[in-house]
Amino acid sequence: MGNPTLLFYMDDIKGIISGLAGSVATQYGVDIVDIEFVGSMRRPTVRIFIDKTGGVTLEDCERFSRAVSAVLDVEDPIRSPYVLEVSSPGLDRPLKRLRDFQASIGKLARIVTKESIERQNFFVGRITEVRGNVIVLMTKEDSLKEIPFAQVSKARLEIELK
């Protein structure tokens, strides 16, 4: 198991970066989909995934990267050298917020829940609607599953090959 102090520290840093990057995102008309840290603590890679209606372009990523890099250099939330990567979330994008599920109605998703729902923790199905704080999935077995958003541990879109 990882060092709990280090995990709390990384969560704090992630929160600070999220706030700083969120301000830049608003200026550039993009949304922060996710922020993750990978690699070693001596030289971590900070990945920021951005999106906007209609999708992001390479130019959007470059402009946002330059702007957020300048802010991070001034505010200096990461005391060690780091690598900054900015990209789109991809076809199998994570679903983190309720509005991500709302924007993905009609798409195939994979959801892992914190606690069992009908003796299951893993669901794959098409998002048919979002009712209040409940995500409704139509599974491959043609069964409707209602998953409270508060129970979602991890979720992402599935890539569909046609």
**Is 162 inside a domain boundary?**
no
Could you tell me the pLDDT band of residue 112, with boundaries at 50, 70 and 90?
Answer: very high
The per-residue pLDDT for 1 is 45
Task: Give the domain-ending residue among 59, 87, 115.
Answer: 87
Structure tokens at 33: 């989909």
Range of the domain at 46: 4-87
pTM of the model: 0.77
* pLDDT per position as a tens digit, 65-96: 999 999 999 988 888 889 999 999 988 999 99
Residue 98 is encoded by which pair of tokens? Answer: 């309720």
Residue 153's CATH number: 2.30.30.180
Who wins on pLDDT, 42 or 132?
132
- Report helix, strand or coil for 2: coil
